[in-house]
Amino acid sequence: MISVDIKKRLGDFQLDLQFDAPTSVTAIFGRSGSGKTSAVNAVAGLLRPDAGRIAIGDAVLFDQASKIHLSPQQRRIGYVFQDARLFPHMTVMRNLNYGGSHDADRVIAVLGLEQLLDRMPAHLSGGERQRVALGRALMCDPQLLLMDEPLAALDAPRKAEILPFIERLRDEMQVPMLYVSHDVSEVARLATTLVVIEDGRVTIAGPVGTVLSQPETVPLVGPRAAGAVIETKVAGRLLDDGLTELAFSGGRIVLPGLLGVLRQTVRIRIPAQDVILAKQAPAGLSALNVLPVTITRIEYGRGPGVAVGLKAGKDQLLARVTRRSALRMELAVGQQIYAIIKATAVGPEDIGS
């Protein structure tokens, strides 16, 4: 468990954060300027808070009350920066070994760095640079890995190249991570816990599935990014059509593509704007996925959209409809209705293992 409770004045900006992160992947989500980077810098020891306490389990990293402030060197925390920060005058190999060579062979293999070892950083692509930075941090045998938007500077294909590596780190190396991002699909794929920061304060924190499927989250993450995250299991293949059937507590969903092997857990994000609501079970519709659901919340925002929280089995879904439709359909909490999800609405970037 990583517990963070810090206050820091930065010019006119007041950072005042309290959150607990279990030892898995915790995403810190927020717009630029919300204080995400300052938060991880404080955990790394690069920024000294004015007050508060930071601890990993029993190990206190910072405690203003008892004047404890460990230097970054003493914290054993790996930090992967947005801009990689490889040492430009050293080869990849020397960069990797700079802080240590813990588990070197495995790190190099997991990150696919064998071919790059003799190169200079100037001759690496953006994605390669981030992989080297990740390897360099891991080879110090960190007790916690901080990642400050490691993919933000990369284009979509590069991101797709690195995300599986980070998933492997999470699953195989089991290093706890604090992952800063402003990309919901990244967060949904990687994180187990989500902390949303706005103007230097934590607005919502909790398990990713719960937080992202709450209607209150919509204004924080933006209407386009909002959407529930659910864990499903591969239940079957419709080989002729190239589709995979996924089962979860609320029923079955069919998605295009061949995702994983039978009974493998697959995490999917269903964007709120791609969920259509119907009062009767629809007939003669091209959409493949029709789920019976119960309305749990209706959140009227400032704009023309309305966020509707839905319960499907034990899982939460989130739909976004216009205020006009919500009024015309007379939606109300407790109603039994149908959620229709177009199979192609869930993009590959929304599917993680």
Which residues of the chain form contacts with other proteins (CB under 8 A)?
Answer: 44-46, 71-73, 75-79, 81, 83, 85, 87-89, 98-100, 120-123, 136-137, 140
Q: Between the CA atoms of 184, 21, 209 and 310, what dihedral angle is there, to the nearest 10 degrees? A: -110
- Cα separation of 273 and 292, whole Å? 18
Asked if 296 contacts 309 with a C-beta cutoff of 8 angstroms, the reply is yes
How far are the Cα atoms of 200, 266, 287, 293, 337 from residue 276, in angstroms, in the given order? Answer: 35, 23, 10, 12, 11
User: How far out from the chain centre does Cα 240 lie?
Assistant: 33
Q: Is 244 left (phi over 0), alpha (psi -120 to 50) or beta?
A: beta
Bridge partners, residue 238, by sequence:
243
Comparison of 45 and 150: residue with beta carbon closer to other proteins = 45
Q: Which two tokens stand for residue 38?
A: 């300052």
CB of 110 to other proteins, least distance (A): 19
CB of 197 to other proteins, least distance (A): 21
CB atoms within 10 A of CB 330: 8
Helix (H) or strand (E) holding 144: strand 144-148
Closer to other proteins at the Cβ: 83 or 199?
Answer: 83
Minimum CB separation of residue 146 from other proteins in Å reads 8
**Which uninterrupted H or E stretch holds 135?**
helix 126-138
Q: What is the smallest separation between the CB atom of 79 and other proteins, expressed in angstroms? A: 4
